[in-house]
């Protein structure tokens, strides 16, 4: 099973979420992420997960990288997206906290492994 991770930009800041205390990696930070449903493309999953987990409408810009996952999926498809509309309304079962951060601030967070690898090696602020 594959997953998606979506880096969303609004103005010059990027949305990050902190996993709920009940999740496998409690309180770790990552971009909005989730798994593909049967028959769903990574692009479709990216848009759906952002809507479900954060309540936002986005415009996908591009897929940046596919990395081996450190979570429940085999591969993570990392996308870049722009915020179109909506206010962040996180799913409390999935998300402990959230925030909009600069690219520099993100690396100071306690990130999940694949997320840290993405931001250190493959992310270019846009």
In this prediction the pTM is 0.89
Who contacts 79 (Cβ-Cβ below 8 Å, separation ≥6)? 4, 5, 6, 7, 42, 43, 46, 60, 61, 62, 63, 64
pLDDT average, residue stretch 76-105? 93
Examine residue 126 and state whether it is found in any structural domain, yes or no: no
For 51, the 3-state DSSP assignment is: helix
Examine residue 36 and state whether it is found in any structural domain, yes or no: yes
| Residues 100-116 pLDDT 10s | 999 999 999 999 988 99
User: Measured between alpha carbons, how far is 58 from 48 in angstroms, rounded to an integer?
Assistant: 10
- Domain holding 54, by residue range, is 2-121
More confident call, 71 vs 3: 3
| Residues 52-77 pLDDT 10s | 989 999 999 999 988 876 666 578 89
Residue 106 sits in a domain of what CATH number? Answer: 3.90.79.10
- Structural domain count, the chain: 1
pLDDT reported for residue 29: 96
């Amino acid at each position: 099973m594959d997953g998606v991770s979506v880096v969303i930009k609004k103005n010059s800041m990027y949305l990050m979420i902190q996993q709920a205390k009940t999740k496998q990696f409690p309180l770790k930070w990552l971009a909005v992420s989730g798994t593909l449903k049967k028959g769903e493309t990574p692009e479709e999953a990216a848009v759906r997960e952002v809507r479900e987990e954060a309540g936002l409408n986005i415009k996908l810009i591009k897929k940046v990288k596919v990395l081996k996952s450190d979570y429940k999926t085999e591969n993570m498809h990392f996308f870049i997206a722009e915020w179109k509309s909506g206010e962040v309304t996180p799913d409390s079962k999935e998300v402990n906290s959230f925030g909009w951060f600069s690219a520099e601030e993100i690396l100071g967070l306690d990130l999940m492994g694949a997320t840290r690898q993405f931001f250190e090696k493959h992310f270019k602020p846009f």
